[in-house]
């Protein structure tokens, strides 16, 4: 059981808040796709023969690929890996790329889950974020996808933007309710260094997003999700009927995955690698058969910290048995001691088997995790 991530680093336009690796220069897409296929040929032993239970096309904007480019990537995957019959195959798509033709091509290739980058159903927010689509396109993209038999759908939303007061957030939740989706993700707007948004905030063109506003919208979201039958299974992810993202859940559980493409990360349980974050450099390196990635062997403490941080964000929480088995009795004793610092507040739920966060604790997840680090 393993995962494959393919990073498609091209976008139509730059969203102001985004710090993912992407380029709006699209003159070298064919070369990049060829390089990704070549990287698969060179690194297919990373998964040590495990078959793929999940494949995830992320980015960037994978929905910008032509049918031929996507077909080439799929041919590379099939040549180099075994795909489980029931594999979850997700493609991130922006609403403005969702057409009858693109949906048919994705279906033919084997994509069975779409993650649609919507962010908001309100024009004002979309303009603020510099998204390439309109609110009307977002809603019609979902209905077109369903019409083409894509029912495993998820969307992304962003709250806490300066354009979004609580009433505006309620408006988004009302549309979300009407859409009746099996899954969605929601993130607080953050100002990442080296983004257009960071410059705007620095030059006082837009105000700094308010933490209190984001916290109150997150709290409202948790109540809303619970009353609408969604399980809050990870800090930013909500699913009905256990239709979790299998790819991301495997990642949070420490399952091996290989990342292909510029900036993609890989993990084999002990070692983490990350590819160069430049399209031309990536293509050049692959063409010269040079390494495209750097690697880091994680120490036991680093693996423990990573496990604590990711597991604490999920509804399953930190498994005491796993800590004991993977890191020893001493690590478990340390964890129990550190938990003492949080015992006074309503932040932690502890049973004999696990440690997880309450709704209040979810507001301070990073702080709590760092208090448990070694």
Chain positions contacting ligand SF4, by CB under 6 A: 11, 14-15, 18, 20, 22, 59-61, 94, 117
Cβ at position 264, least distance to ligand SF4 in Å: 13
Query: Is 38 exposed, middle or buried (CB count within 10 Å of its CB: 0-12, 13-18, 19+)?
Result: middle
Tokens of 154: 């998820």
Kind of pairing, strands 293-297 and 318-319? unpaired
Task: State the nearest-atom distance from the C-beta of 40 to ligand SF4, in Å.
Answer: 22
Q: Which is nearer to ligand SF4, 80 or 161 (CB)?
A: 161
- Minimum distance, C-beta of residue 87 to ligand SF4, in the bound complex (Å): 24
Looking at the Cβ atoms of 117 and 160, the one nearer to ligand SF4 is 117
CA-to-CA distance for 117 and 122, rounded, in angstroms?
Answer: 14
Tokens representing 29?
């897409």
- Please choose, from the candidates 268, 272, 176, the residue with its C-alpha nearest in 3D space to the C-alpha of residue 229: 176
**Residue 136 in tokens:** 């009307």
Cβ atoms of 121 and 138 closer than 8 Å: yes
Distance CA 183, CA 117 (A): 13
Q: How far apart are CA 202 and CA 207, in angstroms?
A: 9
Nearer to ligand SF4, 102 or 256 (CB): 102
Are 181 and 153 in contact by the 8 Å Cβ rule? The answer is yes
Which of 11, 355 has the CB closer to ligand SF4? Answer: 11
As measured in angstroms, the least distance from the Cβ of 195 to ligand SF4 is: 9
* Nearest to ligand SF4 of 14, 175 (CB atom): 14
Contact 32, 82 (CB under 8 A): no
Q: CB 60 → ligand SF4: shortest distance, Å?
A: 5
Closer by beta carbon to ligand SF4, 15 or else 225: 15
Q: Which is nearer to ligand SF4, 162 or 254 (CB)?
A: 162
Q: Which residues contact 366 (CB under 8 A, 6 or more apart)?
A: 309
Element (H or E) spanning 60, and its range? none
In the complex, the smallest distance separating the C-beta of residue 134 from ligand SF4, rounded to whole angstroms, is: 14
Beta strand 271-275 with 83-93 is unpaired
Is the CB of 61 or the CB of 137 nearer to ligand SF4?
61
Handedness of CA 214, 220, 224, 227 (dihedral sign): positive
> Collapsing DSSP states into helix, strand and coil, what is residue 296?
strand
Q: Which is nearer to ligand SF4, 80 or 94 (CB)?
A: 94
Please report how close the Cβ of residue 13 comes to ligand SF4 at its closest, in angstroms. Answer: 7
Closest contact distance (angstroms) between CB of 24 and ligand SF4 is 8
Closest approach of Cβ 58 to ligand SF4, in Å? 9
Q: Do residues 342 and 348 touch, judged by C-beta distance below 8 A?
A: yes
């Amino acid at each position: 059981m393993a995962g494959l991530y393919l990073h498609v680093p091209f976008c139509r336009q730059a969203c102001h808040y985004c710090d993912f690796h992407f380029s709006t220069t699209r003159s070298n897409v064919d070369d990049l796709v060829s390089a990704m296929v070549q990287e698969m040929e060179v690194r297919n032993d990373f998964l040590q023969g495990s078959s793929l239970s999940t494949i995830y096309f992320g980015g960037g904007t994978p929905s910008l690929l032509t049918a031929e480019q996507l077909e080439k990537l799929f041919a590379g995957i099939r040549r180099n890996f075994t795909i489980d019959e029931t594999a979850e195959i997700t493609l991130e798509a922006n609403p403005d790329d969702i057409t009858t033709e693109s949906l048919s091509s994705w279906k033919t290739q084997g994509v069975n889950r779409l993650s649609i980058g919507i962010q908001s159903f309100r024009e004002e927010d979309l303009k603020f974020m510099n998204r390439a689509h309109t609110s009307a396109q977002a809603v019609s993209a979902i209905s077109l996808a369903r019409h083409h038999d894509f029912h495993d759908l998820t969307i992304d939303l962003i709250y806490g933007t300066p354009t979004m007061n609580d009433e505006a957030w309620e408006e988004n939740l009302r549309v979300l309710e009407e859409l009746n989706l099996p899954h969605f993700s929601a993130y607080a707007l953050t100002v990442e260094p080296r983004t257009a948004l960071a410059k705007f905030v620095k030059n006082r063109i837009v105000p700094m997003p308010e933490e209190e506003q984001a916290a109150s919208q997150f709290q409202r979201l948790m109540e809303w999700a619970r009353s609408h039958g969604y399980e809050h299974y990870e800090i930013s992810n909500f699913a009905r009927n256990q239709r979790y993202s299998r790819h991301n859940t495997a990642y949070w559980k420490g399952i091996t995955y290989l990342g292909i493409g510029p900036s993609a990360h890989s993990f084999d349980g002990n070692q983490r690698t990350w590819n160069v974050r430049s399209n031309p450099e990536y293509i050049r390196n692959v063409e010269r058969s040079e390494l495209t990635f750097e690697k880091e062997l994680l120490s036991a403490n680093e693996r423990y910290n990573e496990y604590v941080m990711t597991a604490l964000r999920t509804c399953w929480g930190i498994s005491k048995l796993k800590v004991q088995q993977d890191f020893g009795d001493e690590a478990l004793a340390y964890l129990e001691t550190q938990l003492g610092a949080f015992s006074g507040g309503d932040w932690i739920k502890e049973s004999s088997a696990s440690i997880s966060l309450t709704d209040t604790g979810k507001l301070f997840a990073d702080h709590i995790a760092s208090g448990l680090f070694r």
